[in-house]
A and B are shown apart, each in its own frame.
Chain A
């Protein structure tokens, strides 16, 4: 058994490490977006890469999201492997035309002739009082686009592993990061590794209830888990990571074991990832459920600026504890 040597870094550094390794490995891999080059990225994910790889491989673009995303798609169709950064994922609403029509469907409409090995990535989620527009969770909008995969990273380890996997995928992949997770610290292996895009991650095995979550909510769930354990509960916590497609194997096995499901997400309730998860679980594992699936989401509310109001739009650990207690009566 070889000794795994590790090094400690922050999540945004892990993203950069994965990106850098893939750029070294394949000269067709390049980055484009607003302030990704000289500025080093709004959250420093691409800091230093422009000096190392040059201004064409780390392309600072004008502020024209729909067009530079479409440019990335055209480049992907003709042999390159672009990584398009949304400075904030919310900005990519402007690029919805390109992401939906060309990223998602063009492989199909072309009869399979053209592939779009593109990664679209960037920070989303509710931050520290960023206001309604900069606090959006676009995964619920993008999830109904056919032909696209979506993953959400939550730790330095899976951030690097998912970045590498997304870049190597022949499918268009949207990689969701979170504004408040960039400075998470972790010791990750020195040796090369890659995560599986389609797999969920078992965070904490347990028997009593399955808690499905992703991105930042994983940490609220784990905070709640401490309280729950002290109260004698044994929650199983799964970070679904793959928002589309769902890992029905890991989720299913957990449901068959615990028979109770709680979903904790940052999406707004209507049409969120949670709503799709409920549908998938009900369709596939309804017989194993002893109680209706519970889902804690943000309300359908534009994220308020005021801190006290903002906090109430994000599921808090205490709510998770209460939900589990109710679910496990």
Chain B
């Protein structure tokens, strides 16, 4: 649906879709409590939905509307939700991992310094194979293990960083092996199988919650579409695409449910129908929602608007009506 809306000119910029990797998001995030935190990347729509951000809020943000989860100020690559502790989509490779490490630090700090004994919040940091060659990845593995922080580093190894194959970028492509090098368990899991992911996630999240420290989990998965909607996706071998398409995590789960008579065809059809309705409703809601007015321009630049400074007349510039009109020269 996002792709359709993008091509119909409803949303713009860089949009990175998650199709194919759903087993990772669901396998991990559905084990979390509301107070646990999730840090994502620019491929964050489904992480947001999994953590509980309403479809309307996600779609409206993509449409750049005031009803978006970030009032239309963040967009596809910057999905946040304080209520659901989604600490952000981050557009630059690796820059979310330190933020996640900081959130995990807060959890430890609250327990040990602020004496909030029951504080056992866990943070999940999601990122891809490309990120695993970035300094912030290694720096945070070290610090998380050093201070036994309650964090799980979830690598969505979809084998490609835009057009750079993981194998061409990485001397030792087995990412999970880098965990033990930094003093934490490293686990590889089939990222196309939600039940397997869930099993590994349960262990890793449990470890973190018990205060036993971080875990590095490498989920081998695949993105069915290009890097973003602007990526012609010409480099990836059709045979590889077909191989992973045949292991679509949603189809696989459907098959599992029916074979084990955990759900009937009718049940699943009903779910599909309900989801279609949710998506249609989200698009309609987003479409009808208002665009931000100019007065919103200067809001949220500073938490404390005194940050705009003192004007020539001695009053704080933010008291100037031009600020509420969004026309003030900043």
Interface residues of A (CB under 8 A from B): 27-28, 30, 54, 56-57, 61-62, 64, 66-80, 82, 97-98, 101-102, 106-117, 146-147, 149, 169-171, 197-199, 242, 244-250, 252, 284-285
Contacts and interface: CB of A to CB of B under 8 A. Distances in A.
B162 to A, nearest CB: 19
Given A30-B109, A64-B142, A75-B102, A198 B78 contact: no
Contacts of B106: 74-75, 78-80
Given A27-B114, A249-B314, A75 B73 contact: no
A113 B81 contact: yes
A114 B80 CA distance: 8
10 contacts: A28-B114, A56-B113, A71-B101, A74-B103, A109-B70, A110-B78, A110-B82, A169-B304, A244-B309, A245-B310
Top 7 nearest A-B pairs (CB, nearest first) are: A74-B102, A70-B98, A245-B309, A111-B70, A110-B80, A64-B139, A67-B139
Interface string B136-147: 100110110010
Contact of A77 (B99, B307, B308, B330): B99
A109 B73 contact: yes
Given A54-B113, A198-B309, A106 B88 contact: yes
Given A74-B102, A98-B95, A111-B74, A64 B112 contact: no
Contacts of B37: 78
Contacts of B102: 70-78, 82
B304 A245 contact: no
A110 B88 contact: yes
B301 A64 contact: no
Contacts of B68: 111
Contacts of A64: 135, 139-140, 142-143
A245 B308 contact: yes
Contacts of B92: 97, 101
Nearest to A118: B102
A246 B311 CA distance: 9
B60 to A, nearest CB: 11
A91 to B, nearest CB: 14
A216 to B, nearest CB: 23
A102 B91 CA distance: 10
B306 interface: yes
A74 B78 contact: no
A242 B99 CA distance: 28
Contacts of A56: 108-109, 112-113
A281 to B, nearest CB: 10
Contacts of B109: 30, 56, 75, 80
B97 interface: yes
B98 A246 contact: no
Given A67-B98, A70-B95, 4 more contacts: A62-B143, A66-B135, A68-B98, A247-B309
Contacts of A74: 39, 87, 98-106
A249 B311 contact: yes
A108 B303 contact: no
Nearest to B300: A112
B118 interface: no
Nearest to A82: B102
Which of A73, A76, A82, A108 has the most B CB atoms < 10 Å from its CB? A108
Nearest to B78: A109
Contacts of A199: 310
Nearest to B68: A111
Which of A71, A73, A197 has the most B CB atoms < 10 Å from its CB? A71
Given A66-B135, A66-B136, A171-B307, A111 B73 contact: yes
Contacts of B302: 107, 147, 149, 171
B317 interface: yes
Contacts of B317: 245, 248
Given A74-B106, A75-B105, A67 B140 contact: yes
Nearest to B108: A56
Contacts of B208: none
A173 to B, nearest CB: 9
Nearest to B83: A113
A66 B143 CA distance: 12
Contacts of B314: 249
B172 interface: no
A115 B112 CA distance: 23
A54 B109 CA distance: 11
A98 B74 CA distance: 17
Contacts of B306: 171, 197-198
Contacts of B69: 111
Nearest to B85: A78
Contacts of B146: 62
A198 B98 contact: no
Contacts of A116: 303
B9 interface: no
B159 to A, nearest CB: 26
Contact of B301 (A108, A115, A170): A108
Nearest to A67: B139
Nearest to A173: B307
B71 interface: yes
B113 A70 contact: no
Given A98-B95, A101-B95, A252-B312, A171 B304 contact: yes
Contacts of A101: 90-92, 95
A56 B330 CA distance: 39
